[in-house]
Amino acid sequence: MQNLRVELGERSYTISIEAGILGRTGEIISDLTPARQVLLVSNPTVFPLYGDKVISSLHKAGFEVEVALMPDGEVYKNMEEALKVLDKAVDFNLERTGIIAALGGGVVGDLAGLVAAVYQRGINFVQIPTTLLSQVDSSVGGKVAVNHPRGKNLIGAFHQPLAVIIDPLTLHTLSEREYKSGLGEVVKYGLIYDESFFAFLENNASAVKERRGEIIAELIYRSCRIKSMIVEKDEKEQGIRALLNLGHTFGHALEKITDYKAYSHGEAVAMGTVAASLLARERGYITEEVFKRILNLYRILDIYKEFPPFDPEVVYAAMLNDKKVMYGKMRLILPAGIGQAVIADDVEKEEIIRAIRRAQNLAID
Ligand SMILES: NC(=O)c1ccc[n+]([C@@H]2O[C@H](COP(=O)([O-])OP(=O)(O)OC[C@H]3O[C@@H](n4cnc5c(N)ncnc54)[C@H](O)[C@@H]3O)[C@@H](O)[C@H]2O)c1
Ligand SMILES: O=C(O)C(=O)C[C@@H](O)[C@H](O)[C@H](O)COP(=O)(O)O
Ligand SMILES: [Zn+2]
C-alpha cells in the first residue's frame, strides 16, 4: 500500500494506492466522514466489472447506496448528462453531508466531480479511478468539468476530492488503446518536471508496455506525486499548474473539432505535445537532440502515430477557446528541456500554423 498526502490546508486528502483496495472502499470513506449516503456514479462498461465489489464494501460499512450510470464516452461529458445525475441525487434525497463517488475513468470522474461541486452548493466527493489516465492525472487536483460544444472543459470548477482510492488491478481489464492514452499524460510529467522520471520511462519502456505490476505501481505513484507537488504549490492554476497543460491547447482543439469522437484525450495530448515541441525547437527552447529524445520516447512506447491532416487554420481557430487565453492573447506551454517547461504568452499565429504543418509532415517510423 502506498499513500500520498495532498496538502491543501482544510482541503487536504490522501491518495491510497493498493492492489485490491476497491474492497476497502467503505471502510476508507467511513473513516473520513460520518456520512451515511453514497451516490455512486459510473458507466455501463465499468459498473459491471467493479460495481459489486465497491457496493458490497460500502454496504458492509453501513452506507445507503444509490447508483447513477451515465453513458460511456467523452461525447457524454456534457451538461445534459450532468443534469441527469443531479436529478438522481435529488430523487435519492442525498443530503449535504452525503457523498458522490466516481467509479470509472476521467469522463465519469470529471462529470461526477462537477455534480458534487454544485449539488447543494458542494458536497464531498470521492474518486475511484479505473483507467491509467484517471489514476495518474484526472482523479488528483480537483479540476472537474464537462464540455461545451464550443470547447473542452468549459463548464467546471475546482473541487478537491475527500479521498482518491486507486486499485491498479482495475487496469487488467483496460484496453490497449486506453492504457496507451494514459501513458500520454505520464510522459508529460517527465517532460515538464522530472528528467529522472523521463529516463525511467526510456529505460523501462518494454516493462511499461507489458504493464508489469511493479512498474505500473511506480508509474502511478511517481505521477501522482509530481501532480500533487504542483497542485500543492498552485491549486487554482495561477502559475506553475499551467505546465500540466502541455500539449493540451492543440490537443483539446483536435478533440473538439472531431466532436470528441476521433481521439482519446491522451492521444490528443501526445499529438499536441509533438506540435508544441516543434514550436519550442523553432524558438531554440529545445535542441534537435532533445526533440529527438521526446519523439523517440513516444515511438518506443508506441503512443504517437501522426498529427491529423486538418486545415491548420481550423485547428488554430479551435485553440482560441482555450482557458489559458488571457486578455485575448493565447498562452502556450512549451518544453524547455527534458524536465522543464515554460509558459509562453508571445506566440504568434504564424508560429502555431507552422508548428502544425511541421507536425503533419513529420515522418515517424
Ligand atoms: N480533471 C483533470 O485534471 C483531468 C486530467 C486529465 C484528463 N481529464 C479528462 O479525463 C477524460 C479522459 O479520461 P479517460 O482516459 O479515463 O477516459 P474515459 O473515462 O473515457 O475511459 C476510457 C474508456 O475506458 C473504459 N474503462 C474505464 N475503466 C476501465 C477498466 N478498468 N476496464 C475496462 N474499461 C474501462 C471507459 O468506460 C471508457 O470506455 C477526458 O475527459 C479528459 O478531459 C481530466
Ligand atoms: O490538472 C491540471 O491542471 C491539468 O491541466 C491536467 C490535464 O491533464 C487535464 O486534461 C485538465 O483537465 C486540463 O485542464 P483545462 O483547464 O485545460 O481544461
Ligand atoms: Zn490532460
Instruction: Name residue, grid cell 461525447.
Output: 75
Q: 184 labelled as ligand-binding?
A: no
Q: Is 245 in the pocket of ligand 1 (CB under 6 A)?
A: no
> Which parts of 119-170 fold into alpha helices (H)?
132-133
Kindly state whether residues 304 and 324 are assigned to the same domain. yes
User: What are the pLDDT digits (tens) for 192-217?
Assistant: 999 999 999 999 999 999 999 999 99
> What is the DSSP pairing of strand 124-129 with strand 340-344?
unpaired
Kindly state whether residues 279 and 217 are assigned to the same domain. yes
* DSSP single-letter state for residue 140: S
Which of 119, 139, 173 delimits the end of a domain? 173
Among protein residues, the one whose CA lies closest to atom 10 of ligand 1? 106
> What is the DSSP pairing of strand 143-148 with strand 151-158?
antiparallel
* Burial degree of 247 (CB within 10 A; 0-12, 13-18, 19+): buried
For residue 279, what pLDDT is reported?
A: 98
User: Which cell goes with 59?
Assistant: 454496504
Kindly state whether residues 194 and 246 are assigned to the same domain. yes
Residue 86 sits in a domain whose CATH number is 3.40.50.1970
Q: 185 labelled as ligand-binding?
A: yes
Active-site residues, by number, are: 121, 143, 185, 227, 237, 241, 245, 248, 252, 265
| 4-11: Cβ within 8 A, 24+ apart | 4/221, 4/224, 4/225, 4/228, 5/228, 6/140, 6/141, 6/160, 6/228, 6/231, 6/232, 7/232, 8/160, 8/231, 8/232, 8/235, 11/142, 11/160, 11/235
Which of 143, 173, 203 delimits the end of a domain? 173
Kindly state whether residues 340 and 263 are assigned to the same domain. yes
Ligand 2 pocket test target in 158, 244, 260, 273 with most atoms within 8 Å of CB: 244
User: Once rounded to an integer, what is the mean pLDDT over residues 311-330?
Assistant: 94
User: What are the pLDDT digits (tens) for 259-300?
Assistant: 999 999 999 999 999 999 999 999 999 999 999 999 999 999
Which ligand 2 atom sits closest to the C-alpha of 252?
17
Ligand 2 centroid distance, CA of 6 (Å): 17
Kindly state whether residues 140 and 187 are assigned to the same domain. no
Kindly state whether residues 268 and 198 are assigned to the same domain. yes
Nearby residues of 360 by Cβ (< 8 Å), 6 or more positions away = 306, 307, 308, 309, 312
Instruction: Record the pTM.
Output: 0.98
Q: 302 labelled as ligand-binding?
A: no
User: What are the pLDDT digits (tens) for 96-134?
Assistant: 999 999 999 999 999 999 999 999 999 999 999 999 999
Among protein residues, the one whose CA lies closest to atom 6 of ligand 1? 138
CB 315 within 8 A of CB 253: yes
User: What are the pLDDT digits (tens) for 333-357?
Assistant: 999 999 999 999 999 999 999 999 9
CB 198 within 8 A of CB 297: yes
Q: 349-361 vs 265-283: helix axis angle to the nearest 10?
A: 110
Counted domains in the chain: 2
Which of 148, 173, 198 delimits the end of a domain? 173
Kindly state whether residues 114 and 148 are assigned to the same domain. yes
For residue 145, what pLDDT is reported?
A: 98
Q: Which domain holds residue 23?
A: 2-173
Q: Is 244 in the pocket of ligand 2 (CB under 6 A)?
A: yes
Kindly state whether residues 60 and 122 are assigned to the same domain. yes
Mean of per-residue pLDDT scores for the chain: 97
Q: 38 labelled as ligand-binding?
A: no
Which band of pLDDT confidence, cut at 50, 70 and 90, is reported for residue 365?
low
User: What are the pLDDT digits (tens) for 167-193?
Assistant: 999 999 999 999 999 999 999 999 999
Kindly state whether residues 201 and 287 are assigned to the same domain. yes
For residue 1, what pLDDT is reported?
A: 81
ipTM of the prediction? 0.99
Q: What is the DSSP string of 38-74?
A: EEEEE-TTTHHHHHHHHHHHHHHTT-EEEEEEPPSSG
Kindly state whether residues 302 and 258 are assigned to the same domain. yes
Using only C-alpha atoms, the chain has a radius of gyration, in whole angstroms, of: 20
Both ends of the chain: CA-CA distance in Å?
39
User: What are the pLDDT digits (tens) for 58-87?
Assistant: 999 999 999 999 999 999 999 999 999 999
Residue 309 sits in a domain whose CATH number is 1.20.1090.10
Kindly state whether residues 250 and 316 are assigned to the same domain. yes
Which band of pLDDT confidence, cut at 50, 70 and 90, is reported for residue 363?
confident
Which band of pLDDT confidence, cut at 50, 70 and 90, is reported for residue 364?
low
* Burial degree of 316 (CB within 10 A; 0-12, 13-18, 19+): middle
Kindly state whether residues 147 and 198 are assigned to the same domain. no
Which ligand 2 atom sits closest to the C-alpha of 322?
17
